[in-house]
Amino acid sequence: MVDIHVTINNKTFATVKAPTIADFKLSLNSGEFVCLVGASGCGKTTLLNIIADLDHDYDGDILVDKQHKIPKIGYIFQNPRLLPWRTVRENIELVLEDQHAASTIDALLETMQLTQHQHVYADRLSLGMSRRVSIIRAFAINPDILLMDEPFVSLDPPTARQVRALLLQLWQHRPHTVLFVTHDLREAIILADKLIFLSATPMQIISEISVPIPRHERHNEQAVETFRQQLLNDHPKISQLL
């Protein structure tokens, strides 16, 4: 686990006049679960792509434990991106080379309740199962940081609840620094240590708020709802982002 400091002085796409991101600083403490909440199109995916080193065309830098280096990234997209002609286990094996891979995969499959499905081809899985496989794949490489771009969007509510709970279980067994993008404030409150609310054009941080609800009470819908209402009352700008 590592601390990550992101500075983006300016990110402007060639075809767009105004900067998409400007004067932006974000610090992620080692092992912290941070949720980014911002309106559609404000620049969240652009930020994740810069951190993942998929986009170099910006003015700024990324520091990993105070050094200039590219963090090892686990990137979980909305689309699970599994190879349909490979089984669950084979899709995970693709990202792991070391000799301890088998026991690592066994443990991850068990935590994500996929042991019985490990030999099923990926195109036979439900969306919720595919998302669980993509989460395993990202954790399996033991990344410095996990980037998650709305990974539970379009799941029905009970499946989203189940996958969220399994993700948290996995994260608590194997703590990682996580940057998680969502439009769903309830989801953000359930998952995050810290919420970061973002403005658009250019994308900047409006507020950073720690979630005071203890982890063992996050399943309590009333506690989550009370905090959500309090946030919306205390920070009227937040409701405009959702």
Ligand X SMILES: Nc1ncnc2c1ncn2[C@@H]1O[C@H](COP(=O)(O)OP(=O)(O)OP(=O)(O)O)[C@@H](O)[C@H]1O
Q: Footprint of ligand X on this chain (CB under 6 A)? A: 13, 15-16, 20, 38, 40-46
CB of 36 to ligand X, least distance (A): 9
Question: Phi and psi dihedrals of 115, rounded to 5?
Answer: -55, -45
The residue (of 41 and 175) whose beta carbon lies closer to ligand X is: 41
**Smallest distance from the beta carbon of 200 to ligand X, in angstroms?**
8
What's the closest the beta carbon of residue 16 comes to ligand X, in angstroms?
A: 5
Q: Is the dihedral of CA 39, 43, 47, 53 positive or negative?
A: positive
Token couple for 10: 């300016």
Question: How many residues comprise the chain?
Answer: 242
Using CA atoms, how far residue 119 sits from 68, 116, 209, in Å, is 41, 8, 43
Nearer to ligand X, 153 or 213 (CB): 153
Nearer to ligand X among residue 44 and residue 176 (C-beta): 44
> Which tokens is 32 given?
């912290």
Least gap, CB of 77 to ligand X (angstroms): 11
Q: How far apart are CA 22 and CA 18, in angstroms?
A: 10
Look at residue 196 and give its three-state secondary structure: strand
The Cα-based distances of 9 to 75, 110, 204, 230 in angstroms read: 24, 43, 11, 33
Q: Which lies closer to ligand X via its Cβ, residue 16 or residue 68?
A: 16
The answer to whether residues 39 and 200 touch, using CB atoms and an 8 Å cutoff, is: yes
Q: Which of 18, 214 has the CB closer to ligand X? A: 18
**Smallest gap, in angstroms, from Cβ of residue 169 to ligand X?**
27
Give least dist CB 56 to ligand X, A: 13
| Phi and psi, residue 241, nearest 5° | -90, -15
Instruction: Give backbone dihedrals phi and psi of 56, rounded to 5 degrees, phi first.
Output: -100, -5
Is the CB of residue 91 less than 8 Å from the CB of residue 82?
yes
- Of residues 69 and 186, the one with the C-beta less far from ligand X: 186
Is the CB of residue 114 less than 8 Å from the CB of residue 88?
Answer: yes
